[in-house]
Structure 1
Amino acid sequence: MNFKTINQRFSYPGGNTYLCKFRDELKRLFEGETVLRAGADHLVVISLNLTVEDIVNRVKELNLVMGHFEGGLRNQIKAGIYIADGTPQKPIVMMDRASLACREVHGIFNREYAVFDEELNKKHEQQQYVLEHFEEAFEKGYFKVFYQPVVRALTGKVCGYEALARWIDPVRGIIPPFIFIEIFEKFHLIHRLDALIIEQACKDIRDDMDSGYAYEPVSVNLSRLDFELSDIKKIVDDAVAKYNIPKKYLNLEVTESAFSSQNTNLAETIKAFRADGYEVWLDDFGSGFSSFGNLQSYDFDLLKIDMSFLRTFDTNPKSKLIIASIVDMAKKLGIHTLAEGVETKEQYEYLKMIGCEIIQGYYFGKPMPVEEYQNNREKYCRYEVSEPSELKEYYDTIGTVNLLDNRPLIINRNTIVNFMPTALFELIDGKFQFIYTNKAFSDFMASIGARTHEQIINEFIDKFPEERAMLRQAMLDTEEQKIPIDCAMTIYSCKLIVAVKFLNRTGSRTSFVLTCRNLSKIKKPKYGHL
């Protein structure tokens, strides 16, 4: 992997030394087998005796040994394995198949090898078919737009669609997007496909607007190469103008992988889109790229939470916590949220509970061609199942409420605030001392008449012996029971609820966390009982 970094670091003579070391280790590990150099940094082993397990163990040892080359330079070695089936085959064909398997794990850090099998062979044949027939597919209109509904979590009504590309081939049937999109990106054809999808999506929106039926915004996917190989802003603007649709009905999804490139035009184009009234969504959030750096550097209207978190929803409790943390963070940044890959009622109910605004997945509907929607307008396009356009902003505003915050009445954006008066304190040899208090705690103590931490400690000891004893007992109870303990007490004529929780003990040093509420400040409402 990245052999050029070895040449850059150690010069070409150093690179040659590395290859010689590589060769020697291969000959040692595969003693008795044939070892060849295919060219550049590719070497070949032909074995008549080893099993796949034997080969894999030697590849792992090879990586371990070469990882310590020249003071610890880590340059992972990948292997592709082809098992001959006994039929006469040319050596070049066998080598190509092993090389094809090797390319399957290229760039995947946690995989060192792949074995050529029938599934991989089928995938390779599909890729070859795509390369040979892509021009025909463009010319004859084999590419179709399928639409998958997105649903407002609070209401259960359809509030938009995602436009997805499908290749309907007369010979192969439906060619999966993960096959042709990868190839289109590799051979710099993806911008042609995306332009086609944008054009068709705008046309379909106009058809819906003219039909008298309900219509919703549509989101389209943009590749990083769209920003490099074309004037994507002009393509979008021209399509919107051609079909005379409001810009708010075309949302632009930019996948996280786009931001891993060094394309300086990307940031400027995104700003231009948003300035012109388009919504820009960050797709596949959390899928493995520098998500938080992107949030820091760019402005987005919506985060699409990657479906990988929902795949482990039922088996990994961390998934729920991560999703909730993403929603909480997005609310604080003033960004809307959409979760994709929703397949069960339990997932939907959880996402609704934590305040995720929009849901997408097979639980609500699979991607379908526009004809299927048109042929079943009474089912899919009725106003009863669709969100009226005039309510979008209304529900978007409701979506800004952070249901995970302890103060949901206050909309905080770009700020971190803890409104709960909180203090960390220790008992050291029976002596009480604060080690941290937040501003809310200091304000709280000032509101009941205490000005400094020292005054709190001294006056609490001198003036309130009953309350002190109560707090001491609570500290003993929470340490024993390992749960928070509440105390109701009166200090400076204020009725307080003080909650304390044991954290840890080492020797004569014990730590606790404490929170306070002043019940005296809660006034009775002027109106009567409801």
Structure 2
Amino acid sequence: MRISLPAFTKQQYEHLYLENSRKQRLWIMNRFNHFTPETKKSYEQLGLALAIFMKCKDQTETLLVSDGLCQLYHLKRKELMAYFNGAAADEHYSLTKKRVEVLVNQILGADRQTITVRVKINNFYHTLLLHAKRQQLADGSLLCFIDYFDLSADQLEVTPKADRNAPDAPRYKDDLTGLVNTTYLNRFGRDFLVDKLDEGLRPVIILFNVTGMRAFNDRYDYRQGDRLLIKLGQILVQTFTSGLVIKHSEDRFIVLTTATDYIAKIKTAQKLFVAGISNSLTNIKAGIYYYENRAEGMEAALDKARQALQYTGSDLTQLYHVYDSAVQESFGNRDYVLTHFWEALDKRWIQPYYQMEIRSLTGQICGYEALARWIDPDKGILSPATFISVLEDMHLINLLDLSIVEQVCETIHDCLEDGISVQPISINLSRVDFQVCDIFQEVDRIRKKHDIPPYYLKIEILESTLTRVPGQLLLAMSKFHQAGYQIWMDDFGSGYSSLNNLKDFNFDLIKIDMIFLKDFANNPKSRIILSSIVNMAKQLGLHTLCEGVETKEQADFLRDIGCERLQGFRFSKPLPLEEVISLIHKNGYGHYEPVELNDYYDQAGLANLLVDPMSDSNVLDKRQLALPVSIIERRSDDSLRLYYIDRAYQKQLEEAGFSQGSWQDQINYSNVYHHLLLDLMSESQQTRVPATLTLNGFTINVRFLAKHDDRQMYVCTIQNFAQYVYLAQKCR
């Protein structure tokens, strides 16, 4: 947010600034006590313009500068640190070490925590409002935390415009590409745009970004990456012959042009760029902004092109986007999120909504997923898409996630205290959580505070997290597992390396992404892919849940192939806590799986119903099975209950005139064959291997799956099922 002096008095601005950013600054400064390489990196990535200095006796050293401060000064971090620490100097910046020491001394000696200073940046004088906090260490040295706000209403150019005609000056050239650089853009870019307006033309700012550059450098080395950037610079110069091409920052270029066919030129540049690149993830994207207001500064205009670029998101098929009302609204929402987040957190406008998970074997509710919802008193319900990515970018998402964990644990504790049956709840953790804090320690601390057993919380991690922070993730996953938590992979199949992730990371359950149910009724490939995923998961000993279930047809198919849990609007949308509790009282506990039976049904759910269920789940050489398969529960009174029958079993029952319910009665009252099943069950439970009997022309195979107190679960296959049905009826 940029605020100009004419809109506020200095006193009004200071009050507004301090009120809006007080908690952000306190959070940053308090967290500094836990300064580690990981937290240092997270502070450096902040969009807030922040510098941290240490003063010991008469020496002042710069400890770190944030991305926001580097952006303010238009310098790379290494360059800015060099200026601040006296290793470099430049006439275009008032950044000498002596100037920094004077500034720090001025702040440390001030009665107030805010002061206003004038500094020269890129040959423009800027008015900066600085807010500082001091912290004295045990050895007597002082830490000085300074965050900067550029009032920028009175920038004054201090170099002659004649230099504009000499872009070949070394200070205006990018060392790598030979193109003009950001220094030239900041000094003369606006003049170029205004001149074009004066000529009656419509200038356009195009910001290009190279995607997948990190992966390219990792694969081919940085020298090849430099050659790729040089190639792109040459392509842009050749394509935009009448425009101005600038090397902006690491992987970004800017084109100022009046070409009306700029979209065609962007597409041409993209085709030339990707030609010969084998890495499909390395590409270019563009953000476009029409410059129409001659009073608009270069930085403000460029920021809108940057917003248009960011609006393209991670969709590699979206080559460009023009700044429009949708972008403006999106980033307006971003500003709203950042300025109201702390209030929303304190007042619990952000709260969990709960979406039920259904056990396909029993039809009971076996758990919930806690999903963050922002219930704003002015704007209503904010979509997670509005605030999640913003908070991740600002490294604040861990505060939201931990608030959800806190509220979930409070709910579980209160329900247990009130005697309300409650099922385990899964909570989502962001990749950023693993970067900015010890997320295991934080979650476990909250759980212990509310005296909740760990099996009540399931940890969900997005598949995309695995490739971004693998080191931190492996360590945290090990801690979670050792403490008794289950870890679930969310959105399985949505990433580029799903199968490799299953090999490298130890998960307990995979949540199959809803994308596989898209066009389910009309695309038979969906069924093949889903069956293959479930079959593979069973062989790996992983539990399965499918998201996005919306129809009975989808639910029946997933149950048939042995997908253990189902989630989606077919059963319920995410609900606030009050509605969840109301449904529990309304439906009665018969609709809810007792938590003590979770492990029992989980063990039974690992039976592979797509291949021979008599063999171990990790045996790879299996054949597709056409035999009738059933899952049967034995109770303490030796009664048998059919929980599952497959399509082959159901078809033969229908041919014999039975429903699943009437057949269950038949096997319970058929004396000979009832006892025959009980004997096979007892044998398999004792030996932990399948028990087999061939008699009167049919063969029964029974395998023990799970046990809990007075109940046991078995899987059963029958060869020559028609003969078995006939004899069971006869012996009743």
Alignment of 1:191-202 (within 5 A): 191-202=398-409
Distance 1:260 1:378, change over 3 A: same
Instruction: For residue 370 of structure 1, report the CA deviation from its aligned partner.
Output: 0.6
Question: Any conservation in 2 of the 1:67–1:74 contact (CA below 8 Å)?
Answer: no
Provide the rounded CA distance (Å) in 1 between the counterparts of 2:584 and 2:278.
Answer: 68
Distance 1:263 1:55, change over 3 A: same
Instruction: For residue 256 of structure 1, report the CA deviation from its aligned partner.
Output: 1.0
Q: Which runs of 5+ in 1 are unaligned?
A: 422-518
Where does residue 253 of structure 1 map in the other structure?
A: 460
Structure 1 counterpart SS, 2:590: coil
Distance 1:89 1:249, change over 3 A: same
Per-residue deviation, residues 442-470 of structure 1 (Å, max 9, x unmatched): xxxxxxxxxxxxxxxxxxxxxxxxxxxxx
Structure 1 counterpart SS, 2:569: coil
Q: Mean Cα displacement is larger for which, 285-294 or 322-331?
A: 285-294
The answer as to 2:505 corresponding to 1:295 is no
Alignment of 1:16-55 (within 5 A): 22-23=232-233, 25-32=235-242, 34-37=243-246, 39-40=248-249, 42-48=252-258, 50=260, 54-55=261-262
Instruction: For residue 46 of structure 1, report the CA deviation from its aligned partner.
Output: 4.6
Distance 1:265 1:76, change over 3 A: closer
Provide the rounded CA distance (Å) in 1 between the counterparts of 2:281 and 2:405.
Answer: 43
Question: Any conservation in 2 of the 1:307–1:341 contact (CA below 8 Å)?
Answer: yes
Aligned amino acid, residue 35 of structure 1: L
The answer as to 2:316 corresponding to 1:316 is no
The answer as to 2:566 corresponding to 1:359 is yes
Instruction: For residue 9 of structure 1, report the CA deviation from its aligned partner.
Output: 5.2
Alignment of 1:50-449 (within 5 A): 50=260, 54-68=261-275, 75-83=282-290, 90=296, 92=298, 93-105=300-312, 107-379=314-586, 382-405=588-611, 407-408=612-613, 410-418=614-622
Structure 2 counterpart SS, 1:66: helix
Provide the rounded CA distance (Å) in 1 between the counterparts of 2:279 and 2:383.
Answer: 42
Instruction: For residue 220 of structure 1, report the CA deviation from its aligned partner.
Output: 0.6
Provide the rounded CA distance (Å) in 2 between the counterparts of 1:294 and 1:126.
Answer: 34
Provide the rounded CA distance (Å) in 2 between the counterparts of 1:74 and 1:247.
Answer: 40
Distance 1:216 1:91, change over 3 A: same
Instruction: For residue 164 of structure 1, report the CA deviation from its aligned partner.
Output: 1.0
Instruction: For residue 69 of structure 1, report the CA deviation from its aligned partner.
Output: 7.9
Question: Any conservation in 2 of the 1:259–1:294 contact (CA below 8 Å)?
Answer: yes
Which structure is richer in relative contact order (CA contacts within 8 A, separation 6 or more)?
Answer: 1
Per-residue deviation, residues 287-342 of structure 1 (Å, max 9, x unmatched): 11422222212222211101111123234322221111111111111111100111
Provide the rounded CA distance (Å) in 2 between the counterparts of 1:281 and 1:71.
Answer: 33
Instruction: For residue 173 of structure 1, report the CA deviation from its aligned partner.
Output: 2.0
Distance 1:6 1:352, change over 3 A: closer
Aligned amino acid, residue 79 of structure 1: A
Aligned amino acid, residue 271 of structure 2: L
Where does residue 492 of structure 1 map in the other structure?
A: none
Q: Mean Cα displacement is larger for which, 107-116 or 210-219?
A: 107-116
Structure 2 counterpart SS, 1:224: coil
Provide the rounded CA distance (Å) in 1 between the counterparts of 2:453 and 2:467.
Answer: 31
Aligned amino acid, residue 37 of structure 1: I
Provide the rounded CA distance (Å) in 1 between the counterparts of 2:371 and 2:534.
Answer: 25
Count of matched residue positions in the alignment of Structure 1 and Structure 2:
422
C-alpha RMSD over aligned residues: 3.4
Provide the rounded CA distance (Å) in 1 between the counterparts of 2:280 and 2:417.
Answer: 63
Instruction: For residue 19 of structure 1, report the CA deviation from its aligned partner.
Output: 6.0
Per-residue deviation, residues 473-496 of structure 1 (Å, max 9, x unmatched): xxxxxxxxxxxxxxxxxxxxxxxx
Question: Any conservation in 1 of the 2:538–2:618 contact (CA below 8 Å)?
Answer: no
Distance 1:31 1:338, change over 3 A: same
Per-residue deviation, residues 93-149 of structure 1 (Å, max 9, x unmatched): 443322222223365433322232322221111112112222222223221111111
Distance 1:89 1:306, change over 3 A: farther
Aligned amino acid, residue 368 of structure 1: L
Provide the rounded CA distance (Å) in 2 between the counterparts of 1:411 and 1:274.
Answer: 28
Per-residue deviation, residues 23-46 of structure 1 (Å, max 9, x unmatched): 5543543445x3342733544445
Q: Mean Cα displacement is larger for which, 340-349 or 206-215?
A: 206-215
Structure 2 counterpart SS, 1:156: coil
Aligned amino acid, residue 249 of structure 1: Y
Provide the rounded CA distance (Å) in 2 between the counterparts of 1:116 and 1:308.
Answer: 29
TM-score (norm 2): 0.53
Question: Any conservation in 1 of the 2:463–2:489 contact (CA below 8 Å)?
Answer: yes
Distance 1:83 1:165, change over 3 A: same
Distance 1:150 1:126, change over 3 A: same
Structure 1 counterpart SS, 2:421: coil
Distance 1:373 1:282, change over 3 A: same
Instruction: For residue 375 of structure 1, report the CA deviation from its aligned partner.
Output: 4.2
Aligned-pair identity (%): 39
Question: Any conservation in 1 of the 2:607–2:617 contact (CA below 8 Å)?
Answer: no
Q: Mean Cα displacement is larger for which, 139-148 or 107-116?
A: 107-116
Q: Which runs of 5+ in 2 are unaligned?
A: 1-209, 626-718
Question: Any conservation in 2 of the 1:79–1:112 contact (CA below 8 Å)?
Answer: yes
Distance 1:244 1:97, change over 3 A: same
Provide the rounded CA distance (Å) in 2 between the counterparts of 1:349 and 1:221.
Answer: 27
Provide the rounded CA distance (Å) in 2 between the counterparts of 1:42 and 1:138.
Answer: 36
Structure 1 counterpart SS, 2:432: helix
Distance 1:6 1:149, change over 3 A: closer
Q: Mean Cα displacement is larger for which, 336-345 or 270-279?
A: 270-279
Question: Any conservation in 2 of the 1:35–1:43 contact (CA below 8 Å)?
Answer: no
Distance 1:161 1:18, change over 3 A: closer
Distance 1:195 1:411, change over 3 A: farther
Aligned amino acid, residue 367 of structure 1: P
Question: Any conservation in 2 of the 1:78–1:106 contact (CA below 8 Å)?
Answer: no
Provide the rounded CA distance (Å) in 2 between the counterparts of 1:349 and 1:78.
Answer: 43
